[in-house]
Amino acid sequence: MTEVELKVRPIKNGTVIDHIAAGQALNVLKILGIFGTSDATVSVVMNVASGKLGKKDIVKVEDRELKEEEVNRIALIAPAATINIIRNFNVVEKRNVDLPNEIVKVVRCQNPSCISNTSEPISSRMTVKTKNPVLLRCVYCEQLLTERIADYLI
């Protein structure tokens, strides 16, 4: 058994998000809408050694199979993340995250003068210009967002 597996036991059913950039696990939960008040059993492992990334975070959500569109938004902050769907201790599906072409209600525009940062009845909308590195453009004011995206998560 490797050290990682010792830290968090395997789950029977649910979703394991692996290869999250170190330090981003809590932001991943935020993007997934998983807060302390959620019922789900959630394990978070941060800063474990990884062959691929040096260090990585892992999130395990029990008894819930996350949908593709839910997890794809994770690519905003953890483009190397892999999603494993677990049934009866077996990985039945494994896939990478792929950012959609438009992100709605996930990231707010960093431009304080943007109309999307007012009380108008609209949702923040970002067009994904490039996926690696992630480059977003606000649909309203066209301001680009590429660094510190996690700071602007809604």
Closest listed residue to residue 44, CA positions, set 62, 65, 58, 63:
58
Interaction mask 63-102, other proteins, x per CB under 8 A? ----------------------------------------
Could you say whether residue 133 binds other proteins (CB under 8 A)?
Answer: no
Torsion of CA 92, 98, 104, 109, to 10 degrees: 140
Question: Which of 63-71, 80-88, 96-104, 112-120 is the region at the interface with other proteins (rule: CB under 8 A)?
Answer: 112-120
Beta bridge partners of 56: 21, 48
**For other proteins, the closer CB: 13 or 111:** 111
Could you say whether residue 139 binds other proteins (CB under 8 A)?
Answer: yes
Q: Give the count of beta carbons closer than 10 Å to the beta carbon of residue 47.
A: 12
Q: Using CB under 8 A, which of 2, 37, 113, 132 touches other proteins?
A: 113
CA angle centred on 52, ends 82 and 152, rounded to 5°: 60
Q: Using CB under 8 A, which of 80, 141, 152, 153 touches other proteins?
A: 141
Could you say whether residue 24 binds other proteins (CB under 8 A)?
Answer: no
84 φ, ψ (degrees, to nearest 5): -120, 120
Question: Smallest distance, Å, CB 138 to other proteins?
Answer: 7
**For other proteins, the closer CB: 3 or 120:** 120
**For other proteins, the closer CB: 27 or 124:** 124
68 φ, ψ (degrees, to nearest 5): -55, -45
CA–CA distance, 1 with 153 (Å, rounded to integer): 36
Q: Which residues bind other proteins (CB under 8 A)?
A: 111, 113-116, 118-122, 138-144
